[in-house]
Structure 1
Amino acid sequence: MIRNTNEDSLLPKDTASYWRADMDFPDFPSLNENLDVDVVIVGAGITGITSAYLLANEGLKVVVLEADKVLNGTTGHTTAKITAQHDLIYDEFIRNIGRSNARMYYEANTEALNFIAETVGKHTIDCDFTTQDAIIYSTSEEFKRKIEKEAEAYEKLHIEGGLLDTIPFDIEVENALVMKNQAQFHPTKYLVHLIQLFMDKGGKVFENTTAVNVETGDRPTVLTRGDHRITANYVLACTHFPFYEGAGLYSARMHADRSYALAVKAKKKFPPGIYISADEPTRSFRSVMMNGEEIVLIVGENHKTGQGVETMEHYNALEEFGEQVFGLEKILYRWSAQDLVTLDKLPYIGEITPGQPKILIATGFRKWGMSNGTAAALLFRDMVLGKENKFQKLYKPSRFYANPSLKNFLVQNANVVGQLIKGKLESSRTNPEELEIGQGAVVTLDGHRKGAYKDDDGELHIVDTTCTHIGCEVEWNNGDRTWDCPCHGSRFSYTGEVIEGPAEKPLQKYDYKMIDNLTSKDSGY
C-alpha cells in the first residue's frame, strides 16, 4: 500500500478523479479500417470534443481518435473553473505582449465562457453550471503589491472586478482581487452530452487508437499504431502534448507542470465563489454538489514533472491545508493533473508550423484548459471554414516574443540539460527485493540503473529508466505510482506504458527472474 507520512491521514489509497466517478461513459471501438474524411481530430478532451461538435454542426465529416478512453486525460482531472482569471497574468501580459494582446486574451476566454453557458442553455445540459465570482488572494506583502498591480491591469483592460480586503475563510489575507461573473461546471457531464450531439450529426469516435505520425501534403494523412490511415482536409492535434511536432520543436518550447487535487467532505459550509492563492504553493478551491451534498475541491502544490519532493508530500500538504481551513470529515478522492506551459504563457493554437496550414495544434493551456480549450475549438472552427478570427494572430504557434520567450527558452533548456546529466550520474544501492508492497524505486541491477515496483501481489515490475523521448532518466512518482521524466514531462505506468507524451514508445521491460538468474550465474553462485 502507499504509506503517508501522517499515520492519521484521511487520504485514500488509490488515485481517482471526482469528475470520472459515477459517470456512465460511452464505449467506442478501435479503428480497424482506413478512412477519408473532412477533419480528423486526435484527442478526446475538451478541445477535441468541442471542435468535433462545432465542425459536425457545419455539416463536415469528422472523426475523433483517442489513444485511451474519452475524457481520461487532463480534462477528466481538472478543477473545472471556467474563468478568464488565470492567476496573476494581465499585468505581465501588458508588459510583455502589449495592452491590446492582453485584452484579446481576456476576450477570447470570455467568449469561451459565454459559449459554454449558451451551449448548456441551448441543449439543457445538466452539468451543474453556475455563475461564480473568481477571486485571487495574497497572504504576503510581496503578493499584496502584485495583486495591486493586477488590479491596475484590470482597470486598463476594462475587466469587471476590483480589490477586496478579505475573503470568507479562516485565512489571513493581505488583499484579494475579484473578477466578476465567471463560472464553474461538471466538465465530463457537459462533454458527454456534446459527444452524443456530435454522434447524432454522424460523427465517429474511436478509442484505444493511437495516432503516431502525419504524412504531410495538401490532404494530410494520420497514421495509427494499428497501421491504419485517415486522410483528411485538416488534422487537429488536441492531444495535450502534440502527438506530431513537425518542425515546431514544441518539446523545447514548453515545460510540463503537475498539480494535485482532493475532493473532501468538509465540516464548514463553503461560501459562493471560486478561489485561488497568488502566493506559492498554490491553493485553489471551489465547491461541487455530489448526491445532494456539498463537496470541496482543494487543488495546488504545482511543480515541474519529475522534479521536486516525494509526491505524497503534496497530497499531505493539501490535506493539512484542508483541515486548517475547512475541517475535514472525509477525503473522497485524490488525483493529480498535468499541463504544459509555453515560453510566454500564451497557448499555442493554430498552424503547427508555417507552411503547414492543414495541420493545427492546441497546447500549452497552463492549467486553464476549460476556457482556453474551448477558445481553441472556436478558433479551429473558423480556420477550417476559412473564416477570419481576430484571435488567430494572438495564439499563432510560430510567434516569438523576445521578452520573456528568449530568457525562458534558455532557462528551460538549461534545466533539461541539467536533469539529463543529473540522471546519468545518479546511482542507487536499493535492492528490488527490499521493496515493500506498493513501493517503487530506482534500483541497480547488474550495475545498471533500472526502475522497480512491487505490486499488491508481490510481483516485481522492472523497467529501464531511460525515457524513450530524448534519453533522460525517469524518476519514481510514489503518489501516483508512475515513472515521470524531469526533462519534458513524459509519464509512464509502473509497467512502462506511455501515459503522457512527448514520448511515444514505452519503457523497456525486464523479467526480474531472468535478470536475477543471469546475475547469479555471472557471480558464480
Structure 2
Amino acid sequence: MENNSSLFDGNGISNKPFHRDGFQESLWQKSADTPGEYGEFDPSTLYDTLIVGAGITGLTTALLLQEGGKKCVIVDAHSPGFGTTGGTSAHINTFADTTYDEVEKDFGKEAAVQFAESIARSVAMIDRLVQKYNIECDFEWKNGYVYSETDQETEELNTLFESALSAGVSAKIAEHAPAPVPYKKAVVFDRQAQFHPLKYISALQKHFVEKGGVVINNTLIEGVDSEDGHHVAKSADKQIKAKTVVYATHIPPGGVNVLHFRNAPYRSYVIAATLADGAYPDALIYDMQEPYHYFRTHTTDGQQYLVVGGHDHKTAHGDPEQSFADLIEYTKQCYQVEEVVARWSAQYYVPSDGLPYIGQLPGASSGIYTATGFNGNGMILGTVSAMVISDLILHGQSVDEDLYSPGRIKPIAGFTEFVKENADVAARFIGDRFGIEEIKSISEIPADSGQIVEFDDQKLAIYKDQNGRVSALNPVCTHTHCIVNWNNAEKSWDCPCHGARFDTDGVVLTGPARENLEKVNINMQNQ
C-alpha cells in the first residue's frame, strides 16, 4: 500500500476517494463510490431535526425521520462514513459484546430480554431498508459460530449460550463448526448477517436526499445554542436552525459531559486477505480468546477476501503496529494467507455498565439527543439508536427509552469499570507530563513518524514526514488537556483519556474535541 505522508489537506479533508479518519485504507473504501446526493441547504429554514454525524447512526436516523414526514439536515465535520462506519468489520449479530448474562445480572431478566428484542428489531430494520430500497450492499444472511478452545472458555461459552436462550435468542449447540483451529465446543446463532457498510450508508443518503433531506459535508459544528423553543447550531460559516438535534458522533463532542466519563475509547484492528487455497469460510466465526478474533468472508468485484478482526486495546494505550502484526501472524496460523491486501483500525466506546446510552443528552437543553457506548457492535446498536431516537422525535416515546436512557443511574452496574477507567484517565493526565524525552535536534526523529518530545524547553508533538517537513504541535488535547500519543499506523495523534484524535497538522479527526491542536513555531536551526 502506498505510504503517503499526508492523508489530509490543509483543511483537514481526506485526499482519498472515500474519506476516513485514519491513514490506513479499509477494504470498504477500496470498493465504494462516494455519495453524490446532498440536497440544497436553506439557511432560513427551521428544520425539524439537525443530525450531526453521517455514519450508520446518523443516516439511519435521518432516513427514518424523513420517512416519518420530518424535514432534516445532516452535517458532518468531514464526510459520510468518515468515522467508525467506514472502519467496521460489518458484522450484523443477534448477540452483543455485552452478554445477556451480564445485562441480566446488572439490570434484571426483563432488561436482558428487552436488549435482545431491540437487537432483533435492528437486524430486521437493516433487512427492511435493504429490501425496500433495493440496496446493493452485499447483504447476506449467515450463521454465526462461537467456539471455545479451553475448559475456562467452554464455561464462558455455556453461559453465553444459556443466557442467549433465556433472552429469547435463537441458538443451538453446533455439531460441526467452521472454526479455523481445533475446538472443544461451539454454538451456532442463525440469521446473522453481513454487508458492505459504505455501500449501505451511501444508499441511505441517496434515499434520504430523494425524500427532501439535506446533507452538508466538511462542516464542523462548533456549538449549539437554544433559544425560543429551537436550537441554533453554529459552524465557521453557517447557522442551522432546528427544533431538535441529534449527536450521532459516537461520543458527544464539545465540553466535558458525564458520558465522557461513562465510556472508554478503544481501537479495534481489521485485515483483509486473500487465501492461497481458496478455503474461505461461509459463516461468521468468533473465538473466545483474550484478545479475541473474528472471521468472515466478503466478496467484492468478484474477489473473495478473508476479513479478520481483533487485538483491541484502549485508545493510545497499546501499540497499533504490534496489534496489526499480532493479528496478521495469528491469521497465518489459522489460514493459508496469500496476501494481506488491506489493514485498518477503527474506534469504539465501551460503556461502563455494558449498555449503550441513547436519548436525551444529559446537561443539554430539551430536544438534544445522543447515541454512544456501542462497544464493538456499532452496526446493530447504531441502528437501535436510530430507531429509539426517531421514535422519541416522531412519537414522543420509545419502547426502549428507559433501558438506554443516558441519564440512568445504576450505583452497582458498571461501578467498578467506571472507577477503573476514570482512575486511568487521572493517571494519564498526570503521568504523561513526566518522563518526556528531551532531544537536541529534530534530526533525531525518524522520517514519517511522530514523537512527544521536549525541545527548546517546550513539550511538543512533532511529526516529520517522508520529505523531512516538520509539523510541531502543542501535545495537550483540547478536550480535557491530557497529553496525546502518536499512532504510527494511522498517522494520528490520539488522546489516551477520552479518545479525541488529530491528524499530523493537529486537525480534529474525531471528537469529543472540537478545537484543533495548537500549532507551534520551532527553531529549525537546531534541526
Task: Give 2:88's aligned amino acid.
Answer: T
Q: Would you say the 8 A contact 2:39–2:212 is kept in 1?
A: no
SS of the residue corresponding to residue 199 of structure 1 reads helix
Describe the superposition over 1:208-243 as per-residue Cα deviations: whole angstroms up to 9, x where unpaired: 111121213563324333142222111111011112
- The reply to whether residue 397 of structure 1 matches residue 401 of structure 2 is no
Paired with 2:382 and 2:400, the residues of 1 have a C-alpha distance of 13
Q: Would you say the 8 A contact 1:30–1:208 is kept in 2?
A: no
1:40-119 superposed matches below 5 A: 40-87=50-97, 89-119=99-129
Q: Would you say the 8 A contact 2:58–2:386 is kept in 1?
A: yes
SS of the residue corresponding to residue 452 of structure 1 reads strand
Paired with 2:132 and 2:408, the residues of 1 have a C-alpha distance of 36
Paired with 1:198 and 1:355, the residues of 2 have a C-alpha distance of 27
SS of the residue corresponding to residue 40 of structure 1 reads strand
Paired with 2:470 and 2:142, the residues of 1 have a C-alpha distance of 48
- The reply to whether residue 410 of structure 1 matches residue 419 of structure 2 is yes
Aligned partner of 1:422 among 431, 436, 446? 431
Task: Give 2:179's aligned amino acid.
Answer: F
Paired with 1:40 and 1:19, the residues of 2 have a C-alpha distance of 27
Structure 2 counterpart of 1:303:
313
1:343-422 superposed matches below 5 A: 343-353=352-362, 356-422=365-431
SS of the residue corresponding to residue 250 of structure 2 reads coil
Task: Give 1:114's aligned amino acid.
Answer: A
Paired with 1:451 and 1:49, the residues of 2 have a C-alpha distance of 35
SS of the residue corresponding to residue 438 of structure 2 reads coil
Q: Would you say the 8 A contact 2:262–2:351 is kept in 1?
A: yes
Describe the superposition over 1:147-170 as per-residue Cα deviations: whole angstroms up to 9, x where unpaired: 111222123222210233653233
Task: Give 2:332's aligned amino acid.
Answer: E
Paired with 1:416 and 1:15, the residues of 2 have a C-alpha distance of 27
Structure 2 counterpart of 1:516:
524
Q: How big is the shift at 1:201?
A: 1.0
Specify every segment of 5 or more residues in structure 2 that has no aligned partner in the other structure, as ranges. Answer: 4-21
Q: If the length of structure 1 is used for normalisation, what is the TM-score?
A: 0.91
Paired with 1:332 and 1:79, the residues of 2 have a C-alpha distance of 15
Q: Would you say the 8 A contact 1:212–1:243 is kept in 2?
A: no
Paired with 1:458 and 1:329, the residues of 2 have a C-alpha distance of 35
1:217–1:224 CA distance, 2 compared to 1 (3 A): closer
Q: How big is the shift at 1:173?
A: 2.2
SS of the residue corresponding to residue 216 of structure 1 reads strand
Percent sequence identity is 31
Aligned partner of 2:134 among 118, 124, 130? 124
Paired with 2:40 and 2:269, the residues of 1 have a C-alpha distance of 31
Task: Give 2:445's aligned amino acid.
Answer: L
Structure 2 counterpart of 1:187:
197
Q: Would you say the 8 A contact 1:261–1:335 is kept in 2?
A: yes
Q: How big is the shift at 1:172?
A: 2.5
How many residue pairs get aligned? The number is 506
- The reply to whether residue 438 of structure 1 matches residue 448 of structure 2 is yes
The answer to which of 503-512 and 474-483 deviates more is 503-512
Paired with 1:98 and 1:327, the residues of 2 have a C-alpha distance of 45
Q: Would you say the 8 A contact 2:41–2:214 is kept in 1?
A: no
Paired with 1:138 and 1:96, the residues of 2 have a C-alpha distance of 25
Aligned partner of 1:286 among 296, 301, 304? 296
Aligned partner of 2:221 among 201, 211, 215? 211
Task: Give 1:386's aligned amino acid.
Answer: H
Structure 1 counterpart of 2:285:
275
Paired with 1:68 and 1:26, the residues of 2 have a C-alpha distance of 13
1:280–1:429 CA distance, 2 compared to 1 (3 A): same
Paired with 1:362 and 1:218, the residues of 2 have a C-alpha distance of 25
Q: How big is the shift at 1:29?
A: 9.0
Aligned partner of 1:238 among 242, 248, 251? 248
The answer to which of 195-204 and 221-230 deviates more is 221-230
Q: How big is the shift at 1:405?
A: 2.5
Q: How big is the shift at 1:410?
A: 1.4
Q: If the length of structure 2 is used for normalisation, what is the TM-score?
A: 0.91
Specify every segment of 5 or more residues in structure 1 that has no aligned partner in the other structure, as ranges. Answer: 3-12, 521-525
Paired with 2:467 and 2:44, the residues of 1 have a C-alpha distance of 41
SS of the residue corresponding to residue 303 of structure 1 reads strand
Task: Give 2:120's aligned amino acid.
Answer: T
Aligned partner of 1:498 among 508, 511, 525? 508
SS of the residue corresponding to residue 257 of structure 1 reads strand
The answer to which of 221-230 and 377-386 deviates more is 221-230
Q: How big is the shift at 1:32?
A: 8.7
1:29-40 superposed matches below 5 A: 33=43, 35-40=45-50
What is the RMSD of the two structures over their aligned residues, measured on CA atoms? 2.2
Q: Would you say the 8 A contact 2:232–2:240 is kept in 1?
A: yes
Aligned partner of 1:255 among 264, 270, 273? 264
Paired with 2:366 and 2:234, the residues of 1 have a C-alpha distance of 21
Paired with 1:323 and 1:119, the residues of 2 have a C-alpha distance of 37
Paired with 2:315 and 2:72, the residues of 1 have a C-alpha distance of 34
Q: Would you say the 8 A contact 1:31–1:228 is kept in 2?
A: no
1:220–1:249 CA distance, 2 compared to 1 (3 A): farther
Paired with 1:461 and 1:31, the residues of 2 have a C-alpha distance of 36
SS of the residue corresponding to residue 437 of structure 2 reads coil
Q: Would you say the 8 A contact 1:25–1:192 is kept in 2?
A: yes
SS of the residue corresponding to residue 362 of structure 1 reads strand
Structure 2 counterpart of 1:328:
337
Paired with 2:81 and 2:232, the residues of 1 have a C-alpha distance of 21
1:221–1:433 CA distance, 2 compared to 1 (3 A): same
Q: Would you say the 8 A contact 1:30–1:207 is kept in 2?
A: no
Paired with 1:335 and 1:205, the residues of 2 have a C-alpha distance of 27
- The reply to whether residue 146 of structure 1 matches residue 178 of structure 2 is no
Paired with 1:457 and 1:219, the residues of 2 have a C-alpha distance of 53
Describe the superposition over 1:316-346 as per-residue Cα deviations: whole angstroms up to 9, x where unpaired: 1111112111211111111110011111121
Q: Would you say the 8 A contact 1:34–1:228 is kept in 2?
A: no
